[in-house]
Amino acid sequence: MSTCRALFMLKKYAPLVALSMAVLMYIPASVEAQSAAADQLTGKLVITGASTLAPLIAEIGKRFESLYPTVRIDVQSGGSSRGVADARQGLSDIGMVSRAMKEDERDLSAFPVARDGVCPILHRENPVQALTDEQIVAIYTGKITNWKAVGGVDAPITVVNKADGRSTLEVFLQHFKLKSSDIKAQVVIGDNEQGVKTVAGNRNAIGYVSIGTAEYDAVRGVPIKLLPVGGVAASTENVQKGVFPLSRPLHIVTRTSPAGLAKAFIEFAQSKAVYDLIRQQYFVPLAD
Amino acid sequence: MVKMMERNLDGRELLASTLVWSAVALVTATFCWLLGDIIWHALSHITWTFLTTPPRNAGREGGIGSILISTTLILGVCLGVSVPIGLGTAVLLAEFTTDDSLFGRLTRRSLDVLSGVPSIVFGLFGNAFFCKTLGLGFSILSGGLTLACMVLPILIRSTEEGFRAVPTGYRLSAAALGLSRTTTLVHLLLPAAVPGLLVGLVLGMGRAIAETAALIFTSGYVDRMPESLLDSGRALSIHIFDLSMNVPGGDANAYASALVLVVLLLAINGTASWLAEHWLRRRIVTI
């Protein structure tokens, strides 16, 4: 009876036993791996900044870690402004900035890793097929408040804008020569997916998001449509060709010119070895 | 006349009960809808592999193994720090200070203000104090300590209420029997105050486990399997937020993670009440 019970217990805890054995076997293995890579790169890189870039850099980091097992790449998200601030103050080794560098950011060394387009999006059921730059400016500054004025149905326009500090906002403002304070928005959002979800849930909304995100969602049946800008269709293809007017480079930045581990990582992030990861995250590699 | 009044009363009675029942129905329906929606979208994705493997491709593929470990560690740090401090402060406030002393009033007022502070403020404080000043960096320890600060006010106040709810007669009888204050506290007051502690614990844990704003600045975004408490580790709520708001195509795994979060919360609440029933209650008898 008691043997039977003991057996039962063993069976019950078999996964646990297997797990602890696996852990025990894993420890010597990892020690070996460490000594093998001792002469290679080692240490920890802290990378902070743009939430748009965070998933991509985290994936690149994982691949880098698998090449150099003693290296740790810690990616923290929080926005481009934070990427710049943290890199400047030395709180991070590398910052992520999802836009072109500004005049007053010349003190940082910037390295482009990928490109991304930004395009206006509407609900799929909205009959409007295209908007001129002037119309978009008028809508975002509150001069046009009804879809009727641009050839749509008689319904008020819900303007979806990005929160201050977001790079998509800055790309948008720069292209349309607007100031953040000029914009009269009904909804202010943060991340790209949130923009897609807001517009998909409101037939009368207009927003703008990363083309990669919008393309991915539109293909998978989310009810949105991508509007052309300046007559150029919004697609990752056109961003890569460099013909789409609203696009932004995605940068990683450092305070001083990078050396050692940071240099190796930046070179890796700019190499062809990560192009598949860049496409996987719906961005556009720099060159093909 | 009497009949008319009765009818009138009946009418009012009917109206009142209709209102009460519709309120109940509304609350229950909202909960069922929410839960149903999550279960409907998530159930097919939940597998053993999902629960044990780390995320891949920014969380679109793979599972939440490392995220679960990080979340557990963060909660562990949070509870390990907040329960002893919370219990101690509650005992001090309820048993060793009078209601109208300046110290007691000041402490209570501070706690009430703290419990209303938005979590993002705790996040910024945690980032400035634990990550930078104490040099803990983005780590599970920073995250857990920040959550502990956030949970403490709720925990202290409800435990204190638990102590206050114990009739004074208990204390007087214990004193009459010659029991020391410590014995009274451990064997009589503590078990009697456990329901209050549990309410605080359940509310606090609920707040902690659902926290994103405070954790994104402290425990961070790294979804690797944590190797120590000083490693950055992504909490489940941050993972859900990132998958649904920042990663195109992350919805399916976001739903699955949300279901895990809800189940985890229910499990914690269940364990808390089970502990109350079976473990702490017994101490009041075996004095």
Is the confidence at residue B178, as pLDDT, over 70?
A: yes
For residue A279, what is the nearest residue in chain B, using CA coordinates? B57
Share of chain B above pLDDT 70, in %: 94
**Taking CB atoms and an 8 Å limit, are A54 and B246 in contact across chains?**
yes
Average pLDDT, chain A: 84
Nearest Cβ partner for B245 among A46, A193, A280: A193
Share of chain A above pLDDT 70, in %: 86
| CB < 8 Å to A217, chain B | 248-249
Q: Are strands A247-254 and A109-123 parallel, antiparallel or unpaired?
A: antiparallel
Which carries the bigger pLDDT value, residue B285 or residue A179? A179
Domain locations in chain A? 40-115+249-285, 116-241
Task: Report, as an integer, the average pLDDT of B107-122.
Answer: 93
Is the confidence at residue B262, as pLDDT, over 50?
A: yes
| CB < 8 Å to A194, chain B | 245
Task: Report, as an integer, the average pLDDT of B218-239.
Answer: 93
Q: Is A98 on the interface with B (CB under 8 A)?
A: no
Q: Is A282 on the interface with B (CB under 8 A)?
A: yes
Find the range with the poorest average confidence among B15-19, B65-69, B277-281. B277-281
Is the pTM above the cut of 0.90? no
**Taking CB atoms and an 8 Å limit, are A212 and B248 in contact across chains?**
yes
The CA-atom distances, in angstroms, between B5 and each of A72, A253, B115 are: 79, 80, 48
Reported as a single tens digit per residue, the pLDDT across A13-53 is 545 544 454 444 444 444 444 444 444 688 899 999 988 89
Q: Name, of A12-26, A36-50, A135-149, B240-254, the range with top average pLDDT.
A: A135-149
Whether ipTM > 0.90 holds is: no
Task: Kindly state the helix (H) or strand (E) to which residue B204 belongs, with its residue range.
Answer: helix B190-209
CA B266 to chain centre: 11
| CB < 8 Å to A280, chain B | 57
For residue A53, what is the nearest residue in chain B, using CA coordinates? B246
pLDDT of residue A288: 61
Reported as a single tens digit per residue, the pLDDT across B22-69 is 999 999 999 999 999 999 999 888 999 999 999 999 899 999 999 999
Please tell me if the domain spanning A40-115+249-285 has the same topology as the one spanning A116-241.
yes
Q: Do the beta carbons of residue A133 and residue A174 sit within 8 Å?
A: no
pLDDT band at A165 (very low <50, low <70, confident <90, very high): confident
Is the confidence at residue A10, as pLDDT, over 60?
A: no
Task: Report, as an integer, the average pLDDT of A188-195.
Answer: 87
pLDDT band at A237 (very low <50, low <70, confident <90, very high): confident
Q: Is B137 on the interface with A (CB under 8 A)?
A: yes
Reported as a single tens digit per residue, the pLDDT across B193-209 is 888 888 888 888 888 99
Q: Do the beta carbons of residue B81 and residue B171 sit within 8 Å?
A: no
pLDDT of residue B91: 92
**Taking CB atoms and an 8 Å limit, are B232 and A74 in contact across chains?**
yes
B window 203-222, beta carbon within 8 A of A:
216-217, 220-222
pLDDT of residue A13: 52
| CB < 8 Å to A62, chain B | 224
Nearest CA to CA, how far is B244 from chain A (Å)? 7
- Please, what is the angle between helix B140-164 and helix B102-115, to 10°? 130
pLDDT band at B6 (very low <50, low <70, confident <90, very high): low
Q: Is A78 on the interface with B (CB under 8 A)?
A: yes
The domain A40-115+249-285: what is its CATH number?
A: 3.40.190.10
Q: Is A58 on the interface with B (CB under 8 A)?
A: yes
Q: Do the beta carbons of residue B233 and residue B226 sit within 8 Å?
A: yes
| CATH class name, domain A116-241 | alpha beta
pLDDT of residue A252: 94
Nearest Cβ partner for B246 among A74, A75, A192: A192
pLDDT of residue A36: 42
**Taking CB atoms and an 8 Å limit, are A52 and B246 in contact across chains?**
yes
Share of chain A above pLDDT 90, in %: 51
